[in-house]
Amino acid sequence: MSIFVDETTKVIYQGLTGSQGSYYGRLNKEYGTQVVAGTHPKKAGTDVNGVPIYANVAEAVEATGATASCIFIPAAGVRGAVMEAAEGGVKFVVAVTEGVPAHDEAIFYNQLKRDYPDVQLLGPNCPGIISPGKCNIGITAGHIAKPGGPVGIVSRSGTLTYQALYELKQKDIGVTTCVGIGGDPVPGTSFIDCLEAFEADSETKAIMMIGEIGGSAEEEAAEYIKDNVTKPVSSYIAGVTAPPGKKMGHAGAIVSGGKGTAKAKMEALEAAGVRVGNNPTEAGELMAEIVASL
Amino acid sequence: MDLFEYQGKQFFAEYGMPTSPGKIAFTIEEAIQAAEELGTPVMVKAQVHTGGRGKAGGVKFAATIEDVREHATNIVGLDIKGHTVGRVWIEKASDIAEEYYASFTLDRSAKKHLGMLSKEGGVEIETVAEENPDAIAKIWVDPVDGLSEEQCKAWVEAANLPSEAFGGTVDILMKLYEAYTEGDADLVEINPLILTPEGKVHVLDAKVTLDGNSVFRHKSYEQYDETQTRDERETAAHAKGLQYVGLEGSVGVIANGAGLAMSTVDVINQVGGKPANFLDIGGGANADVMAGALEVINNDPNVKAIFINIFGGITRGEEVANGILEAMKRVAIESPIVIRLDGTNADEGRAILEPNLSDKLLMETTMLDAARTAVQLAQ
């Protein structure tokens, strides 16, 4: 099994006609993802590499029965695109776009919670989600992940996610689903959402969690793990030596007012029984030990 | 983007909040001229992107023009926590009866906007939060609904401000919330918000951080780009569109992806070295971006070795390898380079690099080994 998406997930690409959208839409399709439609208000009736374009998400859903969408729209249009997806009837929305204003994120996050509580948003500013061998939505290089299980991955960082997938593959360890929740201040899907789903997934036997400095999402995840997660968890937190007050690339990755340090996060996770590595390789080795002992 | 106090006040004034008249001065003469135009007494206030200006002697009251000359002489060029004062704000002095604190920022846990109001202003809010947390009235505002006047009144009520400050504070907070949301700010803070002996509520300081991601809908924000605090290296990297943060060490870092770059900085520290920078060149790692990155690092006199840490995802190893070789032809690099290339088609990429290896270009297969080698070379 996998979480959130699998081989039956039909996906609409909002922005499929753009350069990023058409590129990754094609790669996702080649991977085996059911890329069933694209949207563009003025290009309905045309197609991109054989994928039909509809005027909006609602029409694409009606015609294809899609349940998910992936957003490759420039930052200014993401708020509108997220709401269009929810109103159009999809239940899982992946927003890859980076550079979305935090106030827009705060608005559509709360609007979804209130008006479309059954819609799950992933991102913005995330690499997407991959259930290896079944479905890949976003910009992850599919072939670096080994299908199967027993590990589920959730991560705030793109390249470190790839690193984790790759290290596990080198050790011949499979992955049920790998979720990149993204490095923005208001991510649609949290660590806890993923931990809960992995805990409930029978094929996932262990969980790898990759965090970074800034905010308190890792501390909240640690609390959740302590009380609710029975499966073993390994973790890595990037930014142990990041200086306070400097944004390290991601909008959310900043230590401010002494809060959000890697040290505090690592201690919270360790206190919750998580095995924490000092670098991505060590976290991979810890996971290999966990898998060997399953 | 951090605004100077005077920029913050001008920003607040656009939303109708009451601020004091003032002028910006870059020299002592300009400061005196500004004071003459405004009329003494005035405040002479250092404009830097850091707190603790008062303690450092960067904020002074000047009763006369002579005082202005003396204070401006001391403050212009003053170092405050590593920030050199390049400009001072000359502002008409205000009489103060009471000092309050007000701010809005995003509560990332609650995913709501958090407003804080305290009648104990003028000191750092962290201190109040620690010593007397009950003195801070908090409000969580749903970003979809916004702040209603009714909510705002209840909030000000909860802060126990004196009745004569009530109306003026509600008015300012409503405008502050508007400035915060419509202006796409990460933080708006007034400390102190003052009550004058005449019973007027007034903005006496302004701390504003704007969301750099919102510039597409606020064209005027481009003006703030040039007043950001950046060292020479950061300025050069920023001009090339690179995600760069200057650090103090001797190992230059180039990595693709923010997480991997952060992780690279960590690993260098873990093996006993000191990174010179954080630099994320993004997913592609092509020759143009790599050349730009190498140029920035090469111009840093502290750099003694360079660690290029690339994980190929969609980008294949051979493209990365060719990009690095091409970039090295364009930039005359002085320090030795250690490359760690992994991920998609890493073997093919390494095969391309192999014939070019020398004591100036080394390759390691793991991140840890590469970090150790780079650190050794930097010593």
Contact B318, B352 (CB under 8 A): yes
- CA of B110: which chain A residue's CA is closest? A186
User: For position B220, what pLDDT does the model report?
Assistant: 94
Cβ distance of B214 and A101 shorter than 8 Å: yes
Q: Give domain status of residue A251, yes or no.
A: yes
> Which of B106, B217, B266 is the closest to A240 by Cβ?
B266
Which position has the token pair 């206190």?
A271
Residue type at B236 in one-letter notation: A
Q: Are residues A24 and A168 in the same domain?
A: no
Same domain, A159 and A96: no
Confidence of residue B113 (pLDDT cuts 50, 70, 90): very high
Residues B137-147: tens digit of each pLDDT: 999 999 999 99
**CA gap B375, B378 in Å, rounded:** 5
Whether A80 contacts chain B with CB within 8 A: no
Same domain? A114 vs A196: no
Is the separation of the CB atoms in A85 and A96 below 8 Å? no
Say how many C-beta atoms besides its own lie within 10 A of residue B100's C-beta. 24
Say if the Cβ atoms of B245 and A220 lie within 8 Å: no
Q: Are residues A281 and A201 in the same domain?
A: yes
**pLDDT tens for the 294 residues of chain A, in order:** 799 999 999 999 999 999 999 999 999 999 999 999 999 999 999 999 999 999 999 999 999 999 999 999 999 999 999 999 999 999 999 999 999 999 999 999 999 999 999 999 999 999 999 999 999 999 998 988 999 989 999 999 888 988 889 889 989 999 999 999 999 999 999 999 999 999 999 999 999 999 999 999 999 999 999 999 999 999 999 999 888 888 887 877 887 777 789 999 999 999 999 999 998 889 999 999 999 999
Are residues A151 and A287 both part of a single domain?
yes
DSSP B229: -
pLDDT at A66: 98
Q: Is A248 on the interface with B (CB under 8 A)?
A: yes
Q: Under an 8 A CB cutoff, do A238 and B217 touch?
A: no
B320, B285 contact by CB (below 8 A): yes
Cβ separation A166–B283 shorter than 8 A: no
Between A110, A163, A246, which is nearest B142 by CB? A110
Q: How many CB atoms within 10 Å of residue A155?
A: 30
Residue A129 lies in a domain: no
A222 shares a domain with A179 = yes
Whether A268 and A262 have beta carbons less than 8 Å apart is answered as no
Question: What pLDDT shows up at residue B150?
Answer: 98
Three-class SS state of B177: helix
Q: What are phi and psi of A21, to 5 degrees?
A: -60, -45
Q: Which of residues 49-68 of B touch A (CB under 8 A)?
A: none
What is the ipTM for the molecules in this complex? 0.93
pLDDT in tens, B350-377: 999 999 999 999 999 889 999 999 999 9
Q: What residues form DSSP beta bridges with B98? A: B195
Chain A touched by B108 (CB under 8 Å): yes
DSSP string, B233-285: HHHHHHHTT-EEEE-SSSEEEEESSHHHHHHHHHHHHHTT--BSEEEE-TTT-
Are B263 and A257 within 8 A, CB to CB?
no
Catalytic residue status for B177: no
Q: How many other CB atoms are found less than 10 A from the CB of residue B45?
A: 24
Is residue A136 assigned to a domain?
no
Same domain, A176 and A229: yes
CB contact under 8 A, B314 and A141: yes
Amino acid identity for residue A140 in this structure:
T
Domain interval for residue A85: 10-122
**Separation between Cα atoms, residue B194 and residue B202, nearest integer Å:** 5
Can you give the three-state secondary structure of B66-111, one letter per residue? Answer: HHHHHHHHHHCCCEECCEECCCEEEEECCCCCEEEEEEEEEECCCC
Helix B317-330 vs helix B287-298: crossing angle, to nearest 10: 50
Cβ contacts (< 8 Å) between B211 and chain A: which residues? 101-103
Which of A156, A185, A280 is the closest to B106 by Cβ?
A185
**What integer is the mean pLDDT of B10-38?**
97
In a domain, A134, yes or no: no
Q: Which amino acid is at B113?
A: H
Residues A152 and A274 in one domain: yes
With contacts defined as CB-CB under 8 Å, which chain A residues touch B142? 110
CB contact under 8 A, A103 and B314: no
Judged by a CB distance cut-off of 8 A, whether residue A38 touches chain B is no
- Residue A192 covered by a domain: yes
Residues A107 and A195 in one domain: no
CATH number of residue A192's parent domain: 3.40.50.261
CA-to-CA separations, B140 to A190, A202, B100, in angstroms, rounded: 20, 38, 19
CB < 8 Å to A160, chain B: 257, 259-260, 263
Nearest residue of chain B to residue A74 (CA atoms)? B216
Pairing of strands B201-203, B207-210: unpaired
DSSP B357: -
**pLDDT on residue A252:** 77
Supply the CATH number for residue A68's domain: 3.40.50.720
The answer to whether B211 contacts chain A (CB < 8 Å) is yes
Distance between CA atoms of residues B71 and A23, nearest Å: 60
- Chain A closest-CA separation from residue B35 CA (Å): 34
Domain count, chain A: 2
Residues 6+ apart with CB under 8 A from B348: B316, B317, B318, B321
Collapse the DSSP code of A125 into the 3-class scheme (helix H, G, I; strand E, B; otherwise coil) and give the result.
coil
User: Is residue A127 assigned to a domain?
Assistant: no
Mean pLDDT of B118-141: 91
Query: Taking the CB of residue B130, how many other CB atoms lie within 10 A of it?
Result: 9
Contact B101, B117 (CB under 8 A): yes
Kindly list the catalytic residues of A.
250
Do A99 and A236 belong to one domain? no
Within a domain: A160: yes
Same domain, A66 and A185: no
Q: Which of B172, B142, B137 is nearest to B156 (CA)?
A: B137
Within a domain: A62? yes
Helix (H) or strand (E) holding A36: strand A34-39
Angle at which helices A57-64 and A78-88 pack, to 10 degrees? 40
Q: Omega into A127 within 30° of 0, i.e. cis? A: no
Judged by DSSP in three states, B166 sits in: helix
* Residue B202 amino acid letter: H
- From A122, A151, A173, the end of a domain falls on A122
Which pLDDT does position B51 carry in this prediction?
Answer: 83
- pLDDT of residue B123 exceeding 90, the answer is no
Compute CA distances B58 → A153, B46, B77, B84, whole Å.
50, 5, 10, 11
pLDDT of res. B368:
92
CA end-to-end span of chain B: 36
Query: C-alpha dihedral over A167, A168, A171, A176, to 10 degrees?
Result: -160
pLDDT tens sequence across B145-199: 999 999 999 999 999 999 999 999 999 999 999 999 999 999 999 999 999 999 9
CB contact under 8 A, B342 and A76: no
Ramachandran class of B188: left when φ > 0, alpha when ψ lies in -120 to 50, beta otherwise = beta
Choosing from B100, B101, B180, B224, which is the catalytic residue? B101
The domain boundary, picked from A87, A122, A157, lies at A122
Indicate if A277 and A180 belong to the same structural domain.
Answer: yes
Domain boundary among A71, A91, A122: A122
User: How many CA atoms are closer than 13 Å to the CA of B362, on its beta-carbon side?
Assistant: 21
**pLDDT more than 70, % of chain B:** 99
Distance CA A105, CA B147 (A): 17
Residues 297-336 of B with CB under 8 A from A: 311-314
B133: exposed, middle or buried (Cβ count in 10 Å: 0-12, 13-18, 19+)? exposed
CA distance A150 to chain B (A): 21
Element (H, E) at B186: strand B185-195
CA–CA separation, B73 and B67 (whole Å): 10
